[in-house]
Amino acid sequence: MPVLNAVLETSLYVDDLDRASRFYEDVFGLSRIIEGDARIRAYSVGGRSVLLLFKRGASNCTTQLPFGTMGPHDGSGPLHVAFAIPAAELAYWEARLAEKKINIESTVRWPRGGTSLYFRDPDNHLVELATPGVWTIY
């Protein structure tokens, strides 16, 4: 069987690309790695993966790129994304979310020792900050 190394990128579909960008840049300090396209923003997460924000409906057609063709994709409804954080920074993140007036919807303390904070982004996606001990592999 060929090897899979990691999930390289994940995407969220948003109604207002500028509003979503401001949220992810302001709350998480993410840096854009591509811009200039009215349908997408891409962010480096931990230098290992990519968060893609797509304008909802703008990629629901074949996209011809100078170097190839990408098939259509889109999403609707509240999706979920989880970011890994060190356990030692959990209190920092709780304080940061409070400072940004972001309501923590729930806190889950997992049997393996991990903790997850759940809250919503401006498009109602469920965002999670998770410490080690959530999964057997994390």
- pLDDT tens for 44-83 read 999 999 999 999 999 998 988 889 998 999 999 999 999 9
Note whether 120 and 61 are same-domain residues: no
* Both tokens assigned to 123: 């498009």
Note whether 40 and 57 are same-domain residues: yes
Note whether 121 and 133 are same-domain residues: yes
- The pTM for the full model equals 0.93
Q: How many domains does the chain have?
A: 2
Range of the structural domain that residue 121 is part of: 77-138
3 state SS of 32: strand
Which tens digits make up the pLDDT trace of 1-38? 999 899 999 999 999 999 999 999 999 999 999 877 78
Note whether 41 and 83 are same-domain residues: no
Return the closest-CA partner of residue 84 out of 138, 42, 47.
138
